[in-house]
């Protein structure tokens, strides 16, 4: 009997010991501490970038807990402020605390896992792994509206598109044209923030004054880290295939008294509208009244207009017919055509040879010369054709009315009498 009572007492004492141990573990304040938040700025690093990693802990218990130190362990990143939390102290019940570490990425890309460590001294520790991404993907920069060839002094609208393919936002995005011998309407443009998968477009008016490279620099920040990327295109001058192209046709040169008149048509054979179109003559001819300059105005593509310019000149020879016009940006161009001129003493109504574009001419925008002249609508012989039609019509009417038969009989009768 005494044996059984002794065994029962031992079992009860063991159970009480286990319960007491369990009660002591549960009542340890450090066991109520957990990680409740992690933030990274920037979210994704580029090689060589620095980032702030902030870990928030919370004491969900009622009692204060003692923390000896906090560390961030990693073999892949550099912890710049490694000794920042060698001494921490207590955290009260229902309170939170934050630890911020500055890390720096190396040259390698990938996903790395630094370990956050809380040391509670004799009460144990807490450890949490934090994923950190290092990616060297840069913003995508493209140019829109780039012409096949540039023209000296002609303004072109070029749009810069910047897209953010990174996992995370970019800030302070700024686009700057870097130009030598090229004018831009803006020295730079501030875009601001670009979130993941966002893009922005900025239009620049570019006017090249000499050949070279046109470069756009895109500066941006990834967190506190400054970066830049560039895109360049060569600027070479050539013939603009879409520009206005003014051609002179159906030229005639006549003289009357002491002045000579050159007349014809100006046709816009290009794909863009020509503005402020004017026609006059150059040296050795001297424009004079009544029409020293023919003002035509605007000419749309495939449109034409007639002109008439009067001038004086000593003797006969080649006369340059000058056609000036502007594009939509106000750039001035000049075409020069050579015609065979006359002096004021030449016979009235004498015509000149067709105009030919001067091989050394062309607009100031360095467009190449092209052949220009040919026969057209104004050279069709309308009067002979009309007279021929009238004669044929009269003959048909006379035949149907019997007039031709009567005239034939009358002529035969006269010839018979003469015999």
Query: Do the beta carbons of residue 159 and residue 69 sit within 8 Å?
Result: no
Which of 34-43, 311-320, 383-392 shows the highest mean pLDDT? Answer: 34-43
Question: For residue 315, what pLDDT is reported?
Answer: 80
Comparing CA positions, the residue from 378, 381, 380 lying closest to residue 307 is 378
* Cα three-residue angle 172-176-182, rounded to 5 degrees: 175
Mean pLDDT estimate for the chain: 84
Comparing CA positions, the residue from 218, 234, 212, 209 lying closest to residue 146 is 234
Query: Do the beta carbons of residue 198 and residue 163 sit within 8 Å?
Result: yes
Question: For residue 371, what pLDDT is reported?
Answer: 32
User: Tens of pLDDT along 124-167?
Assistant: 999 999 999 999 999 999 999 999 889 888 889 999 999 999 99
Question: For residue 290, what pLDDT is reported?
Answer: 92
Question: For residue 285, what pLDDT is reported?
Answer: 92
Helix 382-401 to helix 403-418 angle, to the nearest 10 degrees?
A: 80
User: Which residue did the predictor score with more confidence, 22 or 42?
Assistant: 42
User: Tens of pLDDT along 86-112?
Assistant: 999 999 999 999 999 999 999 999 999
DSSP letter for 262, please. E
Residue 395 has pLDDT above 50, yes or no: yes
* Cα three-residue angle 130-134-138, rounded to 5 degrees: 145
Question: For residue 376, what pLDDT is reported?
Answer: 38
Question: For residue 361, what pLDDT is reported?
Answer: 40
Residue 262 and residue 373: Cα distance in Å, rounded? 15
pTM of the model: 0.65
CB within 8 Å of 151: residues ≥ 6 apart: 208, 237, 238, 240, 243, 365, 366, 367
User: Tens of pLDDT along 368-394?
Assistant: 333 333 333 444 555 667 777 877 777
Question: For residue 142, what pLDDT is reported?
Answer: 96
């Amino acid at each position: 009997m005494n044996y059984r009572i002794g065994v029962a007492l031992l079992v009860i004492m063991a159970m009480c010991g286990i319960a007491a141990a369990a009660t002591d573990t549960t009542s340890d304040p450090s066991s109520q501490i957990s990680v409740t938040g992690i933030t990274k700025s920037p979210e994704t690093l580029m090689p060589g970038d620095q980032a702030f990693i902030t870990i928030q802990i919370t004491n969900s218990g009622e009692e204060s807990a003692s923390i000896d130190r906090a560390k961030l362990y990693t073999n892949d990143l550099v912890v710049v402020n490694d000794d920042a939390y060698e001494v921490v102290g207590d955290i009260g019940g229902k309170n939170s605390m934050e630890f911020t570490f500055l890390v720096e990425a190396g040259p390698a890309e990938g996903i790395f896992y630094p370990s956050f460590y809380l040391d509670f001294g004799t009460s144990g520790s807490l450890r949490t792994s934090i994923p950190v991404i290092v990616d060297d993907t840069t913003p995508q920069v493209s140019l829109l509206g780039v012409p096949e060839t540039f023209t000296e002094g002609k303004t072109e609208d070029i749009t810069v598109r910047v897209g953010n393919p990174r996992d995370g936002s970019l800030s302070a995005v700024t686009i700057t044209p870097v130009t030598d011998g090229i004018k831009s309407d803006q020295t730079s443009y501030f875009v601001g923030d670009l979130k993941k998968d966002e893009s922005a477009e900025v239009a620049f008016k570019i006017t090249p004054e000499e050949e070279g490279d046109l470069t756009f620099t895109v500066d941006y920040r990834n967190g506190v880290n400054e970066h830049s990327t560039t895109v360049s295109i060569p600027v070479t001058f050539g013939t603009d295939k879409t520009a206005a192209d003014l051609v002179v046709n159906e030229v005639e040169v006549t003289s009357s008294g002491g002045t000579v008149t050159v007349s014809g048509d100006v046709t816009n054979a290009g794909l863009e509208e020509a503005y402020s179109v004017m026609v006059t003559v150059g040296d050795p001819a001297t424009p004079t009244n009544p029409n020293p300059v023919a003002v035509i105005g605007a000419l749309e593509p495939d449109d034409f207009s007639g002109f008439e310019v009067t001038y004086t000149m000593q003797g006969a020879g080649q006369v340059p017919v000058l056609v000036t016009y502007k594009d939509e940006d106000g750039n001035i161009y000049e075409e020069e055509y050579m015609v065979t001129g006359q002096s004021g003493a030449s016979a009235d109504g004498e015509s000149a040879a067709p105009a030919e574009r001067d091989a050394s001419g062309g607009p100031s925008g360095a467009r190449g010369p092209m052949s220009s002249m040919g026969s057209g609508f104004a050279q069709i012989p309308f009067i002979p054709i009309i007279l021929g039609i009238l004669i044929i019509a009269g003959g048909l009417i006379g035949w149907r009315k019997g007039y031709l038969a009567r005239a034939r009989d009358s002529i035969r009768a006269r010839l018979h009498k003469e015999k």
